[in-house]
Amino acid sequence: MLKSKIGRPSLKTVLKTTTVAGLAAVMLSTGIPAQVVNSFAAPVTVTAPQVPSFADVVSAVSPAVVSVRVQSDTETASNDERGGGNGFSFGGRGFDNLPEDHPLKRFFREFGGQDGPQAGPRGRDRAERGGPRPHHLRPTAQGSGFFISEDGYVVTNNHVVSDGSAYTVVLNDGTELDAKLIGKDSRTDLAVLKVDASSRKFTYVNFADDNKTRVGDWVVAVGNPFGLGGTVTAGIVSARGRDIGSGPYDDFIQVDAAVNRGNSGGPTFNLNGEVVGINTAIFSPSGGNVGIAFAIPASTAKDVVADLMKDGKVERGWLGVQIQPVNKDIAESLGLSEPKGALVVAPQEGSPGLKAGIRQGDVITAVNGDPINDARDLAKKVASFAPNTKIDVSIWRNGKAQSIDVTLGNMATDEATKADSSAGEEDSKPSTEQALAALGMSVQPSENGAGLTITDVDPDSEAAARGIKEGETITSVNNKEVSSAADLNKVIDQAKKDGRTRALFQVEANGSSRFVALPINEG
């Protein structure tokens, strides 16, 4: 047994001391100075703000969140066959049938789940051992949703229910109820289902005013990841207004709460239990959560859902112009003070915009006095109006501001959906090639006499750096049609006299058109 050589308490006695006061007394008895003992006499405490608990919010909203099971008569691959994929992932279904050259094919994979809890290697093992099999092996997708009314209306994603033939809503207590599809909207990826509410009233949630949602605010996601219904994750709003290239109305709220396959269509709540967004996509090189998820804002969803509940469809205003963003170079070439607005590449044939007088090369700067920041902003503003609404469109043309009244068409009509901004067919009549050394390219009049065909591009030139290629056609410069090198040089000379350092070239290729701002060099 250990003893102190000077009769003081042994080390064993000190180690058995369990209280701060007792330890201090022992230390003093050994001759340790009081000021040293006092520095150890009290436990360390840290004063910090209380981290919020999400338990009250979760308890209140969970009964309103459901799992959505979708059956289809079409054979589709299971979760394990599809894998995670790279880039953005969408929960649910609907991207397998895209053409191989479609831009979304490269980036988007499904994450809604086909086999629910059975997905993945463990699920296969269980099925092989005679465990539960989903719906007698009928192809099944799973996603999430939530009630927005006590009489059984459920919001989810369009890609969750796409191509489905039967729908089942599973409540958080395990109750399974048949549902019917009321309507869906592929442009915003929203859908509404309806459950028979003749025998009960459902707990439901409300949409928040997401304009008050700030980057850094806490949010809670509730859903059905991997078929595990009633799963709760938390995080913060990490960005707003995200454009992920999925459509013209992209305006996603980015959150860092864990969102995975099967969360699609599920709600993201603020701490008041209001829905600020509907989970629709994740960025995932691996197919699983990496902390970047995207939700459709409540402000978008609220209007679309109301339209779907009303008559099963969404009607939007249609302007009918092909547009592109205005960058700094384009703004300078057109004499705009700042790079804002939407540049009209081409009005569509028979469109309201063309009928009202909107032309190629116009920059749309405002609608009903509200400034247009970019091409995406214009698409959203026009879509917010009902068909046949008369709007005031402010444009910038030939260095001057103008105003045009336009009566919008209907985005859903055949006229709107079949109208294409196709341009340029080539016929006959070749002519002489001429070099434009200052621009780094050579041109010759096109065979149909409309524009200049580019016959050569200097690989070290600004034209090449901005994507101009041999075989493309220059149809206008600074919104002036050109059919010869002389026409082109005349426009450029005038631009120099006006003090501009760039000229705006309209270039066509493969039936599509775009604008490119090129520097005007002396010589």
In angstroms, rounded to a whole number, what is the distance separating the alpha carbons of residues 268 and 219? 6
193: nearest Cα among 235, 223, 133, 151: 151
φ/ψ (deg, to 5) at 66: -130, 165
Catalytic residue among 189, 329, 377, 487: 189
Predicted pLDDT at 450: 78
Predicted pLDDT at 298: 93
User: Tokens 């041109």 belong to which residue?
Assistant: 443
Q: What is the mean pLDDT of residues 8-15?
A: 53
More confident residue, 227 or 25: 227
- Note whether 152 and 197 are within 8 A (CB): yes
Predicted pLDDT at 349: 86
How big is the CA angle at 167 (ends 163 and 172), to the nearest 5 degrees? 135
Q: pTM value?
A: 0.60
Q: Say whether 136 is catalytic.
A: no
Q: What is the pLDDT of residues 15-51, one digit of tens each?
A: 554 565 666 666 667 676 766 656 655 566 666 666 6
In angstroms, rounded to a whole number, what is the distance separating the alpha carbons of residues 317 and 299? 18
Beta-sheet pairing, 88-90 with 109-110: parallel
Farthest-apart Cα atoms in the chain, separation = 117
Q: What is the pLDDT of residues 488-518, one digit of tens each?
A: 888 888 888 888 888 888 888 877 888 888 8
Q: Say whether 151 is catalytic.
A: no
What structural domains does the chain harbor? 1-48 (no CATH), 63-195 (2.40.10.10), 210-311 (2.40.10.10), 317-418 (2.30.42.10), 434-519 (2.30.42.10)
In angstroms, rounded to a whole number, what is the distance separating the alpha carbons of residues 59 and 68? 20
Catalytic residue among 159, 162, 284, 333: 159
Q: Is the pLDDT of residue 123 over 50?
A: no
- Note whether 433 and 455 are within 8 A (CB): yes
Q: Say whether 159 is catalytic.
A: yes
Q: Is the pLDDT of residue 205 over 90?
A: yes
Indicate the pLDDT class of residue 414, thresholds 50, 70 and 90.
Answer: very low
How big is the CA angle at 140 (ends 152 and 246), to the nearest 5 degrees? 80
Catalytic residue among 264, 333, 442, 476: 264
Indicate the pLDDT class of residue 402, thresholds 50, 70 and 90.
Answer: very high
Beta-sheet pairing, 480-481 with 452-457: unpaired
Helices (H), 62-154: 79-82, 103-107, 120-128
Residue type, 499: G
Q: What percent of the chain has pLDDT over 90?
A: 32
Instruction: Pick left, alpha or beta for residue 55 (phi over 0 → left; psi -120 to 50 → alpha; otherwise beta).
Output: alpha
